[in-house]
Structure 1
Amino acid sequence: MRLILLGPPGAGKGTQAQRLVDKLGIPQLSTGDMLRAAVKAQTEVGRKAKAVMEAGELVSDDIVNAIVSERIDAADCQRGFILDGYPRTLQQADSVNAMLAAKGLSLDVVVELVVDDKAMVGRILKRAEEARAAGEPVRKDDNAEVYDERLREYYKKTAPLIGYYYAKDKLVTVDGMQSIDAVTKSIEAVLATATA
């Protein structure tokens, strides 16, 4: 099962991805984690990424694509993977398709978690309150101003992927405003249909 979870910041993609990892036994591929791992392993791509990051610049799509491609070749991805936070743009989506096609692979499904943007602000503020109450660190993006900026960025760059994957008949929407368990059940029903 090869899938992408799409949705605005705070929609629950990370929570649902972790549940899918546990249920399906496939890895969640986060570009941030992959970049750090490649740098630590000092792979050729990792050394390029390190040089760019040390210069204070953003890592290019070419480098990220190479790291994703390298990671997909790992043994634990043979049964599938969940792409998390990637692709973020139409150009990256084209690159993912080309990369998978070159490996004789394709995506099974793209699950969009549909949420109410205004309700999401309440959700992230509640998450921040709960973290504070538990004595845990509060995520720096768990405030209304930062969230608003991230949301604008999402609609500008990532939301066009919804139409892109719909046109490729890969997109399935799930109501992300349900309880966490209900969202999980909805996603599992989608995946059962995708593999049928």
Structure 2
Amino acid sequence: MKKEFQILKKVMLLMVTALFFISCESNINEIRKSNVVEFNPVGEAKDFNLKYTDSGKIKAILISPQMLDYSHLEFPFTEFPKGIDVTIYDEQGNKSFVTSNYAISYTNSNLIDLSGKVKVTTHDGKMLETEQLYYDQKNEWFFTQKTYKFTDKGNVIDGLGIDFSKDFKTLDTQGITGVYSI
């Protein structure tokens, strides 16, 4: 009888242990589900044409096939997964153009990240091409550490890393090759 009691005791212990692990498995799965953060946009626009005006004058036109709004997140941003085409007007009404295959604009830092065949063309024929370019909206300043090609009146500069003002009047180039007439 002692032997039967010990066997029964071991079987009961095994069943309690099994039930414990089964119940923990369920709770762990529930905890995992509760820790999942929803990462969905609060808004989406397709095939839109946005005109930015100031004092009755058009300052910029943004065209994109898709915009996703993540303004509800702790670090809000707006994503343009299918690229952008921007026309910028200066005080004299001259047009400059910015295009890229992808863009993301960070609300808190006023930083825009352009990537994938980025091209900036000014009204006077200056052109910069690169794979990634950042734009600091507050300081109106472009910069990249990627390779680039800058063309101005037939002069071509290739390099790695460049910073410049939005009107290309101030350039800070690093690691350049090519010939440029000053």
- Could you state the TM-score of these two structures normalised by the residue count of structure 1? 0.22
Q: Normalized per residue, which structure has more helix?
A: 1
Q: Normalized per residue, which structure has more strand?
A: 2
Question: Which protein shows a greater Rg?
Answer: 2
- Could you state the TM-score of these two structures normalised by the residue count of structure 2? 0.23
